[in-house]
Copies of this chain bind each other. A is one copy, B any other.
Amino acid sequence: MARSTDPSRPVLPEWEVSTWLNTPAPINLASLRGRVVLLHTFQMLCPGCVAYGLPQAERVHQAFLASELAVVGLHTVFEHHAVMTVDALRAFIHEYRWSFPIGVDAPDGRGGPSRTMARYGLRGTPSCLLLDRQGRVRLHHFGQLDDLRLGSLLGRLIAGPDEPHQVDAAGSLRSAPAAQGDAVVCEPAGCSTRAGAR
């Protein structure tokens, strides 16, 4: 398995979703193997998510073949828990016409960040994770990401061979194989420094 030769690239562990919207059945990560995945995490009352992140996720969902790329939203609530409920999210999705599957991240039950958000080490919203066809994290980005770079990363992951390329959202888009022990792009801290969130 490719990932065993590249221990610095973790396979993303499963998310923990309490409710799914916009999909007839629950979705788990294992079922998405073989397709590139864009995971867009957001909160319905996050201005940057509404203005930039979610419209971009929708554009990606419209632009790519479902057989090659899956777009999944994850509602990762870490504030205003009392009003960002499932019913509120349902109304929000209806009004904005988001068409991709959206999971409600399981609350931690103590008013903190939701469970998957904590598990994945997300810094805030919007955050996006790109997974290659083996489920390995190839980008972990907090904040805005321009369409040209995101498109390029998606194109590389869809068309590329399965050997690990090193991709990031920074000025250069390197395809050299990651050296053993090379800095892992998908660490939140690393990404936030190198990917240059706007």
Contacts and interface: CB of A to CB of B under 8 A. Distances in A.
Interface string A56-97: 100110111100100000000000101111011001100110
A106 to B, nearest CB: 20
Contacts of A45: 91-92, 95
A197 interface: no
Contacts of A84: 91
A64 to B, nearest CB: 6
A34 interface: no
Contacts of A83: 83, 85, 87-88, 91
A159 B164 CA distance: 11
Q: Report how many copies the assembly holds.
A: 4
A151 B30 CA distance: 28
Interface string A40-63: 000001110011000010011011
Given A83-B91, A95-B47, A159 B172 contact: no
A171 to B, nearest CB: 7
A12 interface: no
A46 B157 CA distance: 35
Contact of A63 (B63, B87, B95, B149): B149
Contacts of A154: 151-152, 155
